[in-house]
Structure 1
Amino acid sequence: MVLFSRSFVRKRMISLATTASVAATSFALAEVPKGTDHVRGAMPIQYVADQPAHSREKPFLSENAAAMNKMMADMTIKPSGDVDRDFVAMMVPHHQGAVDMAKAELKYGHNEQLRRLAREIVAKQQQEIMVMRDAVSDKRSSPAQSPEQPRAESSPQSDSTDGSVARDGMKMSR
């Protein structure tokens, strides 16, 4: 007397193996490494530059990976209790990372359109870094605004002379 057919057993074994695989994967993904309070994705960037097809690209990939790793490490901050300072503390390394990666493109890249874009990125990001740092340093010297007082500068103000829009003291082209 046969209790279960081979087909029935085979289907149940496949189902059991699939369930076990999904469960193991779920547990592995759900486990948080000890001592990490930051984003899981902030892992060191690594490229497969050891392959012969990519060997001439290795210096660019190395510089780009170094810029990404530095940026990710520098963006990991301990909150200070001041949203503005924390924003700047994270955004400055983010912008500096873009500058460093754009400089690597300028050093190794050949596409003139991308090189022009990289030059623009360097100029704009460096300017924005200065604006952010100045805004935080200005905040030290200006009286602190109490949390109960909402800012009155929520709507853009138009400047009729050049068609730009002022937001929080920064002029932006339309």
Structure 2
Amino acid sequence: MLQFLKPGQSAALFGMRLLFALAALPPAFAHDAHSPAQHAATPEESAFLADNEAAMNRMMSAMEAKPTGDIDRDFVAMMAPHHQGAIDMAVLQLRYGQNEQLRRIAQEIIVSQMQEIAAMKLAIGEQAPASTPAPTQSSQAPAVHHHTTMPAGMKK
């Protein structure tokens, strides 16, 4: 069947299948029986782990889009929340992390992932998210925000 697809479509189809397969894994593979925050060494680590778990749960939930028959839109519907999850995790690094090299990498992740979300939305004819300054300073990153929205009919 793959030989009848246009170049690049087989890779997209494989990626879609991989995403669906990973989303279907039992929860035991995704999380321990206990919240990671319960095993934290410090209150700050506990807060970081709780915030990170919340960001991951938002991302995984937002990636659960029903297929629409439009591979391009389905790809963006799953990848935009995935990229937003990376942004949310990078914001947490800025809020809690101390390593300057990792903080710079987190800043780069925020900027690049925001650009990629905008490019993907524009590629399928959707309006790009409103232009806002990237939260690349810890003072600009007081909370994790989930800005990705999916069109009606894309949610589960």
Instruction: Quote the residue 1:79 is aligned against.
Output: 67
Contact 1:74/1:93 (8 A) holds in 2: yes
Q: 2: distance between equivalents of 1:56 and 1:99?
A: 20
Counterpart for residue 103 of structure 2: 115
Q: Residue 117 of structure 2: which of 112, 129, 133 is its match?
A: 129
Contact 2:44 2:96 in 1 (8 A): no
Change (3 A) 1:56 1:88: same
Q: Which runs of 5+ in 2 are unaligned?
A: 1-22, 127-156
Percentage of matched positions with identical amino acids = 51
State the shift of 1:50 in Å. 2.2
Residue 41 to residue 93, structure 1, CA distance change in 2 (3 Å): farther
Q: How many residues align?
A: 101
Structure 1 residue 48, shift from structure 2 partner: 2.7
1:59 alignment partner in structure 2: 47
Counterpart residue type for residue 60 of structure 1:
F
Cα 1:93–1:45, aligned 2, differ >3 Å: closer, same or farther? Answer: farther
Query: Match for 2:25 among 24, 27, 40?
Result: 40
Residue identity opposite 2:124 in structure 1: V
Q: 1 or 2, which has the higher strand percentage? A: 1
User: For the residues of structure 1 that align with 2:55 and 2:118, how far apart are their CA atoms?
Assistant: 19
| CA distance in 2 between partners of 1:105 and 1:132 (Å) | 25
Q: In the TM superposition, what is the alpha-carbon distance from 1:72 to its structure 2 partner?
A: 0.6
Distance 1:41 1:129 in 2: 28
Provide the aligned C-alpha RMSD in A.
2.0
Q: Which has the larger radius of gyration?
A: 1
1:91 match: secondary structure = helix
* Match for residue 76 of structure 2 among 66, 84, 88: 88
* Larger relative contact order (Cα-Cα within 8 Å, sequence gap ≥ 6): 2
Read off the aligned partner of 1:75 and give its amino acid letter: M
Query: Could you list the runs of 5+ residues in structure 1 that have no partner in the other structure?
Result: 1-37, 139-174
TM-score (norm 2): 0.59
1:63 shift after superposition: 1.1
CA displacement at 1:93 relative to structure 2? 0.2
The change in CA–CA distance for 1:65 and 1:99 in structure 2 (over 3 A counts) is same
Output the CA distance in 2 between the equivalents of 1:73 and 1:120. Answer: 25
Q: Which amino acid aligns with 2:88?
A: D
Q: TM-score, normalised by structure 1?
A: 0.53
Distance 1:137 1:41, change over 3 A: farther
Aligned residue identity for 1:103: V
Q: How far does the alpha carbon of each residue in 1:16-41 deviate from its partner, in whole angstroms, 9 at most, with x for none?
A: xxxxxxxxxxxxxxxxxxxxxx5125
Matches within 5 A, 1:135-174: 135-137=123-125
**Aligned residue runs from structure 1 range 22-41, under 5 A:** 38-41=23-26
Contact 2:52 2:92 in 1 (8 A): yes
